[in-house]
Structures are given as C-alpha cells and as structure tokens.
Structure 1
Amino acid sequence: MDNIMTFINEVGFPIVVSLYLLYRIETKLEAVIQSIQSLPDRLKSNE
C-alpha cells in the first residue's frame, strides 16, 4: 500500500502540472486560430 501512495505522490504532481499547462496553451491556441481565421478579411479590407 505504501508503494502505491508513493507512486501517486510522485506521478500525480507532474500530471496536474501538465494538465494545467495544456489548458493554458489551449486558450492561447484559440486566440491564434481566431486571428488566422480573420486574416483573409483583414487583407481584403486593406486592398
């Protein structure tokens, strides 16, 4: 039982940090996607 608790403690923290970083990257990626999608309209309006 102690081995399982040690494994969870060692592996659990990196998983939580990874999920948090993935969430932050996802929100920034959404902003990049929206910017790229609006780019053709902006280029047409500048012509």
Structure 2
Amino acid sequence: MDQFQMLTNLIENFGFPIVVTAYLLLRFEKRIEMLTEVISELKNTCSCIVSENQRRP
C-alpha cells in the first residue's frame, strides 16, 4: 500500500504541471511552425541579397 500512496502523491504533485505544459505546447505549436517558416524565408532573402551584392563590382 505504501507504493500506491507514493504513486498517488507523484501524480498529484506532477500531474497538473504536465497537463498545463501539454496544453501550452499544443496551443503554441502552430505559432512555432509559422515562426520556423518565416525564419526560413528570411534566411533565403538574406542569402539572395548577399549573393547579389557580391556580384556587383
């Protein structure tokens, strides 16, 4: 019975934070994907600008 109480205490202590973390990760997942796409576009744009400036004498 001691192990059951320990398991119950662990779930009570860590269950809520895990649920909140999962909720926040799912909520922000779409925003993180959008940021990744924008950063990739910015990288491509910067690469194009650098290559154009290197071509000019």
Report the TM range for the smaller structure's normalisation.
Answer: 0.5 to 0.7
Matches within 5 A, 1:1-47: 1-40=18-57
Any stretches of 5+ residues in structure 1 without a counterpart?
A: 41-47
After superposition, give the CA deviation of every residue in 1:1-47 in whole Å (9 maximum; x if it has no partner).
4322211112211111001111011111111000011111xxxxxxx
Supply the RMSD in Å over aligned alpha carbons: 1.2
How many residues get paired? 40
TM-score by length of 2: 0.58
Give the fraction of aligned pairs with identical amino acids, expressed as a percent: 8
* 1: CA distance, partners of 2:39 / 2:20: 29
- Structure with greater Cα Rg: 2
